[in-house]
Structure 1
């Protein structure tokens, strides 16, 4: 079933990322971590659906997304970044494999952090603190870090920000990559899930590194790649 959403508000999050708030259809339900296929409701774009994840919670009035634009692609995300209140989009029913399966380590690359926003927000709402949760978040540069203040303000959440294309980042950010060497001292063999989301090559590399470090398949939560 398709739903038409009207944009209520759009505001910048980073230099190329926007927070969008839409109205919510009556009876529309989803689980934190889920996504929808979204298309612009305008001529020439209705068949160009792309997956985006909710950052809002099921009990909230609107449906919210944080979407990174890629102007060089001359595509859907570029158009989304130019939307204004009153514009509309079309979405299908929610889907997704990432859901809250308990405390653990959340490993994200770029816009792949968005499924974790609602999952962590829900856990914080229920538990009052994110004890036993760590976010490892990789980006190209420091200015690309999405919702840094939000994550740093989540009670109990340990945060590690890492950048790949900036040799000398500012305080609280390290340069490097999330590889086996990086993960070696961050893998708890006794407890906790490992949630992984980002570009497909990153998901594959991180998953392989975790398994090589002894993490069992049932402790790794990733999005379906099919």
Structure 2
């Protein structure tokens, strides 16, 4: 990129309610080449159940595509739904390691090629009985359209896709830069880190959206910030705000100036990692475009490149 421009999220069409590293056709053409991943469960992402109840819990075995039935669907805002799917029984847990998404598969009526899309669960990996997603619907979105059309009792097939390896205390500090629905994998890892008493990693979250209404999981992040004030801080950026909320958020777009203020880790931490998750134009502006139709990391560029970060310090979703 010859010059870094402010990120205008209002003009960005994000991908799915999870990672945004691939074009729609990629999931269809690569469908038969995914290998099943058997990830180990991390430390508990929530308060441990009583020992007698815990003894009965069993981790799901994600072999190939697993059919799950929708239990509940709730509107979160004008274009986002929270979808809760039942696991095989009340003692089953997903057991997914961070960061792991689940690929959904369905074949639209009249089509012969299945639609494959990744979505990252927001429920804890040791939550018994169900798994929950937060899905934003996009115009002409085949995956999100399907998810939003589902009613309790409908079924969908899921297969796990491990996307980022994380080991507790591997980094002294991490910065998460997210836009729109790209927040879901970031939330999954944030919970895993902060709910592990042995993990001392510090986290800074920069989360950009068009408006206050678009800020997903805000109450959850606010609660974490209150519970872990020395380890977690968050900054919400909105491109437009209402008069009554003026001053409550960082107003504008993700720029070099803003990230320079919010990312001091490189100066005073021994090792750092930056995760960037959001619409492809955002990822490109912040860290350079991904390569290989979104399947490879590509070279580092954008704002982070100008700030002196190197490729090994950044991961793009």
TM-score (norm 1): 0.85
Deviation at 1:165, TM superposition (A): 4.2
Q: Could you tell me which residue of structure 2 aligns to residue 205 of structure 1?
A: 285
Deviation at 1:49, TM superposition (A): 1.9
- In structure 2, the CA distance between the partners of 1:48 and 1:82, relative to structure 1 (3 Å rule), is same
- In structure 2, the CA distance between the partners of 1:13 and 1:195, relative to structure 1 (3 Å rule), is same
Compare 22-31 and 140-149 and name the one that shifted more: 22-31
Q: Which residue, out of 32, 38, 60, partners 2:104? A: 38
Q: Could you tell me which residue of structure 2 aligns to residue 118 of structure 1?
A: 188
Compare 130-139 and 21-30 and name the one that shifted more: 21-30
Q: Could you tell me which residue of structure 2 aligns to residue 182 of structure 1?
A: 258
Q: What stretches of structure 2 of length at least 5 have no aligned partner?
A: 1-63, 288-301
Question: Contact conserved, 1:169 with 1:175, CA < 8 A, in 2?
Answer: no
Aligned residue pairs total: 222
- SS of the equivalent of 2:118 reads strand
- In structure 2, the CA distance between the partners of 1:13 and 1:141, relative to structure 1 (3 Å rule), is same
Question: Contact conserved, 2:107 with 2:115, CA < 8 A, in 1?
Answer: no
Deviation at 1:148, TM superposition (A): 0.8
Which is richer in strand? Answer: 1
Q: Which residue, out of 209, 215, 234, partners 1:159? A: 234
TM-score (norm 2): 0.63
Note the 1:47-196 alignment, pairs <5 A. Answer: 47-61=114-128, 62-70=130-138, 72-73=139-140, 75-97=142-164, 99=166, 102=171, 103-127=173-197, 132-154=202-224, 155-156=227-228, 157-166=232-241, 170=245, 171-187=247-263, 188-189=265-266, 190-191=268-269, 192-196=272-276
Q: Which structure exhibits the higher relative contact order, with contacts defined as CA atoms closer than 8 Å and separated by 6 or more residues?
A: 2
Q: Could you tell me which residue of structure 1 aligns to residue 310 of structure 2?
A: 216
Q: Distance in 2 between matches of 1:141 and 1:129?
A: 33
Question: Contact conserved, 1:13 with 1:147, CA < 8 A, in 2?
Answer: no
- SS of the equivalent of 2:286 reads helix
Q: Distance in 2 between matches of 1:113 and 1:56?
A: 13
Q: Distance in 1 between matches of 2:107 and 2:152?
A: 13
Question: Contact conserved, 2:93 with 2:125, CA < 8 A, in 1?
Answer: no
RMSD: 2.7
- In structure 2, the CA distance between the partners of 1:28 and 1:161, relative to structure 1 (3 Å rule), is closer
Q: Distance in 2 between matches of 1:98 and 1:80?
A: 27
Deviation at 1:217, TM superposition (A): 2.0
Deviation at 1:219, TM superposition (A): 1.8
Deviation at 1:138, TM superposition (A): 0.5
Deviation at 1:57, TM superposition (A): 2.8
Q: Distance in 1 between matches of 2:195 and 2:244?
A: 32
Q: Distance in 1 between matches of 2:200 and 2:83?
A: 26
Compare 110-119 and 13-22 and name the one that shifted more: 13-22
